[in-house]
Structure 1
Amino acid sequence: MFSIKSLFPAVTKAEWTRQVVADLKGKPVESLKRLTPDGLETEPFYTNEDLAQLPLATNQQSQQTGRSLGWLNVPGVRFETESETNTVLRTGLTKGADGFLLDLTEAKTEEIQWSRLLHGLKLSDTPVWFRVDGQSENVAMALKQILPYQLKGGIVDEPVSRSLQSGTHPDAALAQMAEATRLTLDSPHFRTITVGSTVFHNAGATATQELAFTLNSVVEVFDHLTNAGLTMEQLIPKTALTVSVGTSYFTEIAKLRALRILWQRLLLHYSIFDRVGGPIRYSIFIHAQTSTFYDATATPYNNLLRATTEAMSAVIGGCDALTVHPYDTVFGEPDEFSTRIARNISILLKEEAHLDKTLDPSAGSYYLETLTNELVESAWALFLDIEKRGGLLKATESGFVPGELEKAYQAKVEAVKNGRILVGVTKFRVDEEVRVAKPVKFFETLPVLRLPQEFE
């Protein structure tokens, strides 16, 4: 029988290397190696031989266990009034949204008329995530009073992240999170424990730091909630991770894939076992959002392109829900046009690029599998180091975490000063009009930064 392989005999990595050296006219192949911002060394090329050194089956299983195809298109919506916000939500459903991230951080949740706000929405079909500021229990109680069925969506409150920025203790908000979790145990698809990477991402973190510090945050939250009487079996299905996705296309794909592997590794260290004695392979729900760290006020329509590549990284990396920020988020209030374009990015990736048809589409990529594993190992080592220092909060109080993030941010700034291009900021810039960025926030510990601000 004819075989196509007979036309293309196998070539070893050593043979490829010899050919590369010959093409370089004797220059060593090592000269083509590069360092990522994480300090990881990338080879000029990869082959199947590189995969033989990886725990490939385990890593790929982590991407597939408990998951379904596709992702939820979850636009962000800011609460105005009950009627106005309800109109925005119901209109969004007719325009391609699958759910919503509803920002209630500036609202008094105890004064909201919930029936009017959620009129015409059924949260057993349409997931809504309510972003709050230490008010998890209040929201859960309100929803339980008016909605007698199982809910989908969740409550996004990140007490540890808020503590890292403000210097305040997270105990009160964590107590609310514990009660919200108890109140909604009968709704397994309504996640009340959310841990995010954005606080680190927006302080300039590398991918390794972002992954490691997010795991450390999970440990801080789980330790508090188990001390409050909840079991790990109750906590794990109620947990979601929110991850900001930046412009480094392949690194961001690998970052999300690495996060799933690290999640499984973390659970093994919590000694979670099923009835037959094996580890329970809980899939983690990942909500990805496009980055504001790389968005610019100069030539701002380029932010549309940044959001598109970030969204592609997120869905190829395997997010379960995606929020695309409007291109004008960093300097104005998003209008109907910018909101529609942001929502449609996710729709295009589904309906025209068909990226929802394959589970873990980067599986088997020589480069991405290698990069994923390298991020796993580097992040795990940093995670353990932080735990030895007493955990994330203590490592932040001691100055270690802020110091490491400051180094990472300054390295990014220096890279741009030394030639890395920010399109529309340091090159191909067109100032159509003067735009003023929203004030940069500096807190007691971790700041909220943007990389382009140094050059605008």
Structure 2
Amino acid sequence: MADKSNQPLFSEFPPVSTQAWMDKITADLKGADFEKRLVWRTNEGFSVRPFYRQEDLEPLKYLDSLPGEFPFVRGTKTCNKWFVRQDIVVKDAAAANAKALVLLTKGVDSLGFVFEDEALVTAENIKTLLKNILSNDVELNFKTRHGNKKLLQLVTEEFKAQNRKTDEVKGSVDFDPIGNLTIGGKICETIEKSMDYVAEIVTEGKKLPLFQVVNVNGRYFGNAGSSIVQELAFSLSVGNEYLSQLTSRGISANDAAKTIRFNLGVGSNYFMEIAKLRAGRMLWAAIVNEYKPAGREACKMVVHCETSEFNKTVFDPYVNMLRTQTEAMSASIGGCHSLTVQPFDNVFRDSNETGERIARNQQLLLKEESYFDKIVDPSAGSYYIETLTDSIATEAWKLFLAVEEKGGYLSALKEGFIQAQIKESASQKSKALASRREVLLGTNQYPNTSEVMASAIDAAKISKQTPAAGDVEPIRLMRGAEEFEALRLATEKASKRPKVFMLTYGNLAMRLARSQFSGNFFGCAGYEIVDNLGFATVEAGVDAAINAKADIVVLCSSDEEYADAAPVAFEKLGNNAILVVAGAPACTDDLKAKGIEHFINVKSNVLETLQGFNSLLKI
């Protein structure tokens, strides 16, 4: 008997061609258009098909590369270990050091020290801050508003005082004047002087060769509502701007490239975010390679990832844990260098130990229980993810070149090109959320109407104002849920919480479906929802609504029954409450002619409609 142990799996089955698959799909669609029904047009400017095959990978040129090999699509190293990072705001050096030492026993191996007060950046405080943090396996990151050169010098001196090998200490300094200009609208000095200072920082940073002292904060773009392609393209443009400015000041391509770290956001578009990191490494390698560095090591992209703020919510905040978990998975599978998972409540208050512990453990679960750090580039060979990687790279490269044609990032920013692109994307996302084509669970769909959050919110956290234009127009950091949250908070502060009464009548299936839809609809504004199983007559329903002192009465029935039922309800209700018809019946124009103004349905802009009702109710 022949040995079949080395035969291809399922070799006894004949191969199925792409055309055979298409013929079967076409038959099952029964005449429906394949492109309209099954092809997804992404926000990133390309289409995604419902299935992919090996032949789709044939045009891709990088598939033969291994992890750690140019162009680094599959990662910059031969393992998938990443640093678990947590930031500490330094208000007292001794307290920050004590917290850091505790965190190192909790699974954190990357510490971020954030100085909001420049006066705290002193030699004594740096010594206190770094006391007993001696392991070179721990990454140390620093951020301050202005004094980066001084900070870097003090940190370097302290390492030397500790007799540490400065060529083995890993970390970064978050110095990004271009990013500050992008979100702040102005810069402390002229561009030329600022870039001179960047060059000084880089020269000083050579004393710590494993430190990146220039950061590209691409997360700003995502948190302003950009698409994934825009975030990647503009981040690469900023990185290229730094490369160009540094090399023109006599710094070698190798030194310039090695000192740059990218801080990218990670959103909930799971596969797209994995592909973004893979595409980013490939494109950055191509950019750096054009500067003719000595060897390929300088072409490696160092990426720190941070969970997005754009999709995080104040209401139903525990859902944020689900969002950050998939985001952490995307970042780790995509091959990030380090990762910060923001606590679930970080967008509306300073998180406590519980929130911070959960955020840490989300990464530790991926490492210690799911073994994500044991497999390099687990998405390699996936027809879908490889195709997404190529598509994102193609579209991001087009946008990158468009920026370069305008003279580079700074010129494009001054012209307003960057801002216009992001505004357009943010507007599209806002419209999708307002109409519920995109869902933020617990905010614009399935809200917890009994939830009260005003007392839990730190007003300073959610009231970030966009700076006025100075040297350039700044981009506005935002969250998609902001306008819905404003509705809910206004309701909480109102003297009387509006009551919405479901007048369910007639066809059982339709009245139940429409009452559920309407409850979710008005619940997004925090109104009190009074549901009912059904009334024998419209008149009985109106009487019950008036007795309940309802502010809004939603008639929930079938389209056929609305022609008779809606006018009866409208006349009997009078000025006691606002009548709303759930649906878009054929008789809508006739009902409007009789004075019925308000209709809600799946095509309604939920946000604008609820803002209108808040206005009617004087909230």
Note whether the superposition's TM-score is higher than 0.5: yes
**Gap change, CA 1:293 and 1:402, over 3 Å in 2:** same
Identity, % of aligned positions: 31
Shift, 1:59, TM fit: 6.9
When structure 1 is superposed on structure 2, of 125-134 and 91-100 the one drifting more is 125-134
**Residue of structure 1 in register with 2:463 after alignment:** 439
Letter in 2 for 1:157: F
Hey, what's the Cα distance between the residues in 2 that align with 1:182 and 1:336? 39
Hey, what's the Cα distance between the residues in 1 that align with 2:194 and 2:298? 29
Q: 1:153 aligns with which of 168, 171, 178?
A: 171
Hey, what's the Cα distance between the residues in 2 that align with 1:329 and 1:242? 18
1:22 is the counterpart of 2:27: yes
Q: 1:63 aligns with which of 55, 59, 73?
A: 73
* Contact 1:134-1:172 within 8 A present in 2 as well: no
Hey, what's the Cα distance between the residues in 1 that align with 2:322 and 2:90? 27
Deviations 1:129-170 (A, max 9, x none): 102223221111101222122121111121101011222235
Shift, 1:357, TM fit: 0.9
**Residue of structure 1 in register with 2:244 after alignment:** 223
Letter in 1 for 2:369: E
**Residue of structure 2 in register with 1:304 after alignment:** 321
* Contact 1:205-1:408 within 8 A present in 2 as well: yes
Hey, what's the Cα distance between the residues in 1 that align with 2:120 and 2:202? 17
Any idea what SS the aligned residue of 1:21 has?
helix
* Contact 1:314-1:322 within 8 A present in 2 as well: yes
Hey, what's the Cα distance between the residues in 2 that align with 1:56 and 1:11? 26
Hey, what's the Cα distance between the residues in 2 that align with 1:118 and 1:418? 50
**Gap change, CA 1:141 and 1:281, over 3 Å in 2:** closer
Hey, what's the Cα distance between the residues in 2 that align with 1:70 and 1:428? 38
Hey, what's the Cα distance between the residues in 2 that align with 1:417 and 1:110? 45
CA RMSD of aligned residues (A): 1.9
**Gap change, CA 1:172 and 1:59, over 3 Å in 2:** farther
**Gap change, CA 1:174 and 1:86, over 3 Å in 2:** farther
Shift, 1:280, TM fit: 5.7
**Gap change, CA 1:59 and 1:18, over 3 Å in 2:** farther
Shift, 1:101, TM fit: 1.8
**TM-score normalised by the chain length of structure 1:** 0.94
* Contact 1:137-1:177 within 8 A present in 2 as well: no
Hey, which bits of structure 1, 4+ residues long, moved more than 3 A?
58-61, 109-112, 169-177
**Residue of structure 1 in register with 2:112 after alignment:** 101
Shift, 1:186, TM fit: 3.9
**Gap change, CA 1:391 and 1:43, over 3 Å in 2:** same
Letter in 2 for 1:448: L
Hey, what's the Cα distance between the residues in 2 that align with 1:418 and 1:42? 23
1:200 is the counterpart of 2:213: no
* Contact 2:115-2:121 within 8 A present in 1 as well: no
1:139 is the counterpart of 2:151: yes
Deviations 1:347-394 (A, max 9, x none): 011011111111111011111100110110111111111111111122
1:118 is the counterpart of 2:141: no
Bigger relative contact order, structure 1 or 2 (CA pairs below 8 A, ≥6 apart): 1
**Residue of structure 1 in register with 2:335 after alignment:** 318
**Gap change, CA 1:25 and 1:35, over 3 Å in 2:** same
1:352 is the counterpart of 2:381: no
* Contact 1:245-1:252 within 8 A present in 2 as well: yes
**Gap change, CA 1:171 and 1:76, over 3 Å in 2:** farther
When structure 1 is superposed on structure 2, of 107-116 and 35-44 the one drifting more is 107-116
**Residue of structure 1 in register with 2:478 after alignment:** 449
Letter in 2 for 1:254: A
Shift, 1:125, TM fit: 3.3
Shift, 1:93, TM fit: 0.2
* Contact 1:109-1:138 within 8 A present in 2 as well: no
Q: 1:365 aligns with which of 382, 387, 412?
A: 382
**Gap change, CA 1:64 and 1:30, over 3 Å in 2:** closer
Any idea what SS the aligned residue of 1:154 has?
strand
* Contact 2:74-2:278 within 8 A present in 1 as well: no
Hey, what's the Cα distance between the residues in 1 that align with 2:64 and 2:152? 37
Shift, 1:178, TM fit: 2.5
**Gap change, CA 1:173 and 1:143, over 3 Å in 2:** farther
Q: 2:16 aligns with which of 11, 28, 44?
A: 11
Letter in 2 for 1:156: D
Hey, what's the Cα distance between the residues in 2 that align with 1:367 and 1:59? 18
Q: 1:261 aligns with which of 248, 267, 282?
A: 282
**Residue of structure 1 in register with 2:87 after alignment:** 76
**Residue of structure 1 in register with 2:47 after alignment:** 41
Letter in 2 for 1:63: V
Q: 1:90 aligns with which of 89, 93, 101?
A: 101
**TM-score normalised by the chain length of structure 2:** 0.70
**Residue of structure 2 in register with 1:424 after alignment:** 442
Shift, 1:173, TM fit: 4.9
When structure 1 is superposed on structure 2, of 188-197 and 334-343 the one drifting more is 188-197
When structure 1 is superposed on structure 2, of 59-68 and 211-220 the one drifting more is 59-68
Hey, what's the Cα distance between the residues in 1 that align with 2:98 and 2:197? 29
* Contact 1:17-1:29 within 8 A present in 2 as well: no
Any idea what SS the aligned residue of 2:299 has?
coil
Deviations 1:384-408 (A, max 9, x none): 1111111112212212111111100
Letter in 2 for 1:238: T
Any idea what SS the aligned residue of 1:74 has?
strand
When structure 1 is superposed on structure 2, of 160-169 and 82-91 the one drifting more is 160-169
Letter in 2 for 1:34: W
Structure 1: segments with no counterpart, 5+ residues: none
**Gap change, CA 1:177 and 1:36, over 3 Å in 2:** same
Q: Which has the larger radius of gyration?
A: 2
Shift, 1:7, TM fit: 3.2
Structure 2: segments with no counterpart, 5+ residues: 486-619
1:333 is the counterpart of 2:353: no
Shift, 1:172, TM fit: 5.0
**Residue of structure 2 in register with 1:244 after alignment:** 265
User: 5 Å matches for 1:264-303?
Assistant: 264-274=285-295, 282-303=299-320
* Contact 1:155-1:192 within 8 A present in 2 as well: yes
**Gap change, CA 1:106 and 1:35, over 3 Å in 2:** farther
**Gap change, CA 1:281 and 1:142, over 3 Å in 2:** closer
Letter in 2 for 1:451: G
Letter in 2 for 1:299: D
Hey, what's the Cα distance between the residues in 2 that align with 1:342 and 1:163? 30
